[in-house]
Structure 1
Amino acid sequence: MSAAASASGASPLKKLGFLTIGLFDRDNPAAGHESTLRVIELGEQLGFDSAWLRHRHLQYGISSPVAVMAAASQRTSRIELGTAVTPLAWENPLRLAEDLATADVLSGGRINPGVSVGEPMYWDTVKDALYPDTAAAEDFSYSRVQRLAGFIAGEPVRGFSGKDGVIEEHSERVEPHSPGLRSRLWYGAGSLRSAQWAGQAGFNLLTSSVVFAPGQDRPDFGEIQAEQIRAFRAEHPDGAAAKVSQGLVVIPTDSATTEQRQKYQAYVDERTPRTLQPNGPKGFLPAKDIIGTSEQIAEELAAHAGYREVDEVAFALPFSFEETDYVQILTDIAERLGPALGWSPQA
């Protein structure tokens, strides 16, 4: 572990993952999906504990992460696969429970579904296509995720089961049933209220590179995130042992070429202004991207109040880079940054 990280009082990093959006070209989507699968395979080879997929609808990023996880499960054997996050407003919880359980069975119990609730983004532009007859009646509250959790846990969907005639056998619950999947459900929270609810509901907590800080003129992202994590654990049945994963954007440059360093810095410079103050009525506040050598990143994380509350991370890969850039970044994270944070790669 680096001297900076050790001096911070942060626990050694136990689990190291990464997050990708899985970009693709509109006219050649297969190439982008194949690239995403190769990146996940590389992650397993480098010893990462987990790979997470961002969920994007009507964009040129992964729209069906469950399908991609199922494909990745057949090309890997150990690395855990998750979503960060699936917006449940787009999903039927019963059907999603079937898909997630199927992927989990195929993976040998490696799926970690991360979900969130709330009205879909750009709701007015999609509601007629998504829910043409029921848009006004749809419930996008926490009850939607509670329904999903119950179906995954094996709660009865109906009273009917058994044979219909002499051939078909029917079940009262979602099939296939994967017994450990409910304990691997994560909730993506960005506000104090949602973090507290996730704890009360017994979910694991996904914190990301975004929090909500309405009414704060000079907010400290790390302190806000740390407060949410502590509030989550205060409400969770497992208390201080409740699982939390942090998802900041980190860009190590140890083995990057000069051209890559210039591109990475331009990316960070373009995104930094939006991190200086809360945006919009909800106080949307992104975290600052962390760029530099692995030792420099470790020092910055050591001073990050949110990071000091966790021992598990899923660092987000920049959205618009090339596969060769991801190879360099992931290799530096696994071989330099991770060990500097006290992490050891999986065999």
Structure 2
Amino acid sequence: MHRPAPPHASSATEGRGHRSLQLIELGEQLGFDSTWVRHRHLQYGISSPIAVLAAASQRTRHIELGTAVIPLGWENPLRLAEDLATVDILSGGRLNPGVSVGPPMHYDRVRRSLYPDTAEAEDFSYTRVRRLLDLVRGEPASDVEGSEGFEQFSRRVQPHSPGLAARMWYGAGSLSSARWAGEQGMNLLTSSVVKAEESTDFAEIQLSHIRTFRAHHPDGERARVSQGLVVIPTDTATPTQRARYEEYAHQRTPRTASPQGPARMMFAPDLAGPSELIAERLLDNVAFREVDEVAFALPFTFTPADYAQILTDMATRLGPVLGWHPSR
């Protein structure tokens, strides 16, 4: 069971990174297998998860560290490959980079700052992921190699972390992206927001993505898939916390009933309540029954005490009901 992604602060003046590090440390203490950090640009969230995970790598020893996901439209693949390899080595091989493609959000408004000279020429397709994968795998980034005076040069990205390529994930929200990720031999992060292409039942959509991905992956049924869901156990919550969680889920429920917008996006229902009830609903979920890993996302707007209660209930109540136990 994956440790949920740390939350974002709701105020620009709050210590987002520091609070996230505290939650990651708590996740390791509770025995979660992994922690995943969301990525947000020009919002009150974590804009540089790789920097946060570099710090986390020095405060933890066992828990895997992931990004869910880095939007590559904001990134230079070569520079990102260097950062990913550096953090992977710092962490002792615990980094799980998740990425996605597409134009940056609000691109028309940010393009002058992000790509002032090349905005029209930037390629936001899968090609950007392939460039990153090639560089992470050690393909040449330059034709300069050897000594020039006192300087030594390498043709490939340095440092090089040999095991990192096998831990690259793609965040897919459509059948075509799930198929593409499988064909590239990546791991799959199934999104909690998906396109309604073959069904309007969220679990069925996720299931079709999982099966399509594995059907086109070299490892077949053994290919790694992590299911993304918002889950809020309330076992040890106070009455005030429980009411806040239920109101949060209630406000978000209408968007889960039917496809939203021109792109026909479907949102996963939030699961809030006692662990026994959540477990029943998860075990009825056809996509959940298909995977061995799940990433429970934490809502953005709760307090540190809320997150501590939710994580503790996940590790000590919900996990064991689902057959999961702390790895340490």
Give the TM-score range, shorter chain: over 0.9
Equivalent residue letter for 1:334 = A
| Residue 60 (structure 1) aligns with | 44
| 1:215 and 1:283 in contact (8 A); partners too | no
Instruction: Provide the C-alpha distance between the structure 2 equivalents of 1:214 and 1:76, rounded to a whole number of angstroms.
Output: 41
Structure 1 counterpart SS, 2:218 = coil
Q: Cα distance, 1:160 vs. partner? A: 1.1
2:297 pairs with 1:313: no
Instruction: Provide the C-alpha distance between the structure 2 equivalents of 1:106 and 1:147, rounded to a whole number of angstroms.
Output: 23
2:197 pairs with 1:210: no
Equivalent residue letter for 2:109 = T
Within 5 Å, give how 1:252-267 maps onto structure 2: 252-267=233-248
| 1:46 and 1:334 in contact (8 A); partners too | yes
| Residue 181 (structure 1) aligns with | 164
Match of 2:85 among 85, 101, 115: 101
| 1:187 and 1:206 in contact (8 A); partners too | yes
What do the CA deviations read for 1:272-294 (whole angstroms, capped 9, x no partner)? 11111111111111100001100
| Residue 132 (structure 2) aligns with | 148
Task: Using the TM superposition, name which of 39-48 and 315-324 deviates more.
Answer: 315-324
Match of 1:340 among 313, 321, 328: 321
Percent identical pairs in the alignment equals 62
| 2:10 and 2:301 in contact (8 A); partners too | no
Counterparts in 2 of 1:196 and 1:61: CA distance versus 1, 3 Å: same
| 1:16 and 1:343 in contact (8 A); partners too | no
TM-score when normalising by structure 1: 0.93
Q: Cα distance, 1:209 vs. partner? A: 1.1
Runs of 4+ in structure 1 displaced over 6 angstroms? none
Structure 1 counterpart SS, 2:2 = strand
Equivalent residue letter for 1:19 = A
Q: Cα distance, 1:24 vs. partner? A: 5.2
| 1:46 and 1:345 in contact (8 A); partners too | yes
Counterparts in 2 of 1:254 and 1:214: CA distance versus 1, 3 Å: same
Equivalent residue letter for 2:11 = D
In the alignment of these two chains, the number of paired residues is: 328
Higher normalized contact order (CA 8 Å, seq sep 6+, divided by chain length): 1
| 1:16 and 1:338 in contact (8 A); partners too | no
Match of 2:304 among 298, 323, 344: 323
| 2:77 and 2:128 in contact (8 A); partners too | yes
Within 5 Å, give how 1:197-276 maps onto structure 2: 197-214=180-197, 219-276=200-257
Instruction: Provide the C-alpha distance between the structure 1 equivalents of 2:128 and 2:198, rounded to a whole number of angstroms.
Output: 29
| 2:3 and 2:36 in contact (8 A); partners too | yes
> Where does the alignment leave 5 or more consecutive residues of structure 2 unmatched?
none
